[in-house]
Amino acid sequence: MKLNIGENIKRLRKEREITQEEFAEILGVSCQSVSRWENDNCYPDIELIPTIAEFFGISVDRLMGVDETKEKEVVNSYLEAFQKAISIGNIEECVIIARKGVKEFPNNYILLNKLMYALFGSCDDDGNIPEWEENMAKYDAEITALGERIMKYCPDINIRLEAASRLAFNHILHGRKEIGKKIYETFPSMELSKERQMWWALEKDEKLPFLRDTIKQSYEFLKSFIWLLADADVVDVETELIAISKIFELEKLILDGNRPKNSWGDVWLDFDIAKRYALMGDTGNTFKHLHLAVDEAKAFDKFPDEQKYSSVLVGEIIERKLDFETSDTRPLCEILRDKWLIHDELDCIRDTDEFKEIIKNLS
């Protein structure tokens, strides 16, 4: 069996940002010896291997690359535990799981990225995390260091881009907007994305799943941008209402109206529409959409472990309760009652019997 020790030494050395000369001096060997190891011309002397492993903080087996299958199994167990915790908003547990995984596998970029994600999530002011402001100050440097490390060394472009996006947003949240903008500017344009270019390299049997997956992704992107248009305070209320209503039309077009009305987004969408009708003085439609939001919140809180639906454009879609990610441990009915329905826009109906009945219905 071929050992990957030379390749591993080279990767680990670069991650530590030390030169071959510096590494050779640390080990008491010649620079030529290190070069020969990294070029797979020879292996280090057997008595040096434990010293090298200890220096990089890994086991001898990992240094020699003989337990990759076992590592994947253990990493997957960490990822499964992480997903279970994030699906119920337990961010603190996510941080614990990710730290434990990184301690065991300090150079696994999947786990490093999850740790960065969990630390960033613990700073979310939209969840029910009382110490989110303290976390922002406490974790800023660590989030930045993780993001920069992943961007510089991770071989997986998707993980690099995900970490870079989160790093840019973290800079912006801390008032370093220009730094965040510069990171965003390094991203490829939509025109040069994989989804726009891959088509030409596909075989016939690959084209249908590719098209359906790309249509679904494009639908999600378009929906997000429409929502941003409505929520960015850049147009008047009437235009905001028209824009949000287009999301309903878009869903019907792409999903043939087959998607069950039980998502977090459904609740927020009807609530958002209700707010705007309230601002326009249309009490009837305000209550209509608030009642829809209540029904959808109840449906979300009873979301099945798995649900399936399909449409002509996207084919079959499988949604799992476990895949939902949040920084709030509360049921959505409670969030709607105690957080969303206290918005000032609804003050005009707050003292009505119908509004009080809605609050009671969510209790």
Segments making up each domain of the chain, as ranges: 5-64, 68-187, 194-361
Residue 5 binned pLDDT confidence (cut-offs 50, 70, 90) = confident
Give mean pLDDT, residues 2-10.
Answer: 82
Residue 42 exposure: Cα atoms within 13 Å on the Cβ side: 8
Lowest mean pLDDT among 44-58, 132-146, 176-190, 232-246: 44-58
The CATH number of 5-64 is 1.10.260.40
Residue 194 has pLDDT above 50, yes or no: yes
- Is residue 15's pLDDT more than 60? yes
The span from the CA of 274 to the CA of 290, in Å, is 6
pLDDT digits (tens, 9 = 90+) for 262-309: 999 999 999 999 999 999 999 999 999 999 999 999 999 999 999 999
Confidence label for 331 from pLDDT (cuts 50, 70 and 90): very high
Measure the CA angle with vertex 261, ends 258 and 267; round to 5°: 145
The chain-wide mean pLDDT, for the chain, equals: 93
pLDDT digits (tens, 9 = 90+) for 161-183: 999 999 999 999 999 999 999 99
Residue 40: CA atoms inside 13 Å, Cβ hemisphere, count? 7
pLDDT given for residue 30 in this prediction:
93
Instruction: Please give the pLDDT value at position 3.
Output: 65
The answer to whether 6 and 33 have CB atoms below 8 angstroms apart is no
Same fold, 5-64 and 68-187: no
Q: What is the pLDDT of residue 60?
A: 79
The pLDDT value given to residue 298: 98
CA-CA-CA-CA torsion sign (140, 144, 147, 150):
negative
What pTM value is reported for the model? 0.82
- Rounded CA separation 83/321 (Å): 11
pLDDT of residue 1: 43
Percent of the chain with pLDDT over 90: 81
> HEC profile for the chain?
CCCCHHHHHHHHHHHCCCCHHHHHHHHCCCHHHHHHHHCCCCCCCCCCHHHHHHHHCCCHHHHHCCCHHHHHHHHHHHHHHHHHHHHCCCHHHHHHHHHHHHHHCCCCHHHHHHHHHHHHHCCCCCCCCCCHHHHHHHHHHHHHHHHHHHHHHCCCHHHHHHHHHHHHHHHHHCCCHHHHHHHHHCCCCHHHCHHHHHHHHCCHHHHHHHHHHHHHHHHHHHHHHHHHHHHCCCCCHHHHHHHHHHHHHHHHHHHCCCCCCCCHHHHHHHHHHHHHHHHCCCHHHHHHHHHHHHHHHHHHHCCCCEEEEEECCCEEEEEEHHHCCCCCCCCHHHHHHHCHHHCHHHHHHCCCHHHHHHHHHCC
Instruction: Please choose, from the candidates 237, 327, 324, the residue with its C-alpha nearest in 3D space to the C-alpha of residue 286.
Output: 237
Whether 215 and 256 have beta carbons less than 8 Å apart is answered as no
Residue 303, phi-psi category: left (phi > 0), alpha (psi -120 to 50), beta (remainder): beta
- Name residues whose C-beta falls within 8 Å of residue 155's C-beta, 6 or more positions apart in sequence: 109
- Give the amino acid at 163: A
CB 291, CB 359: distance < 8 Å: no
Residue 62 has pLDDT above 70, yes or no: yes
CATH classification of 68-187, choosing from 1.25.40, 3.40.50, 1.10.3470, 2.20.25? 1.25.40
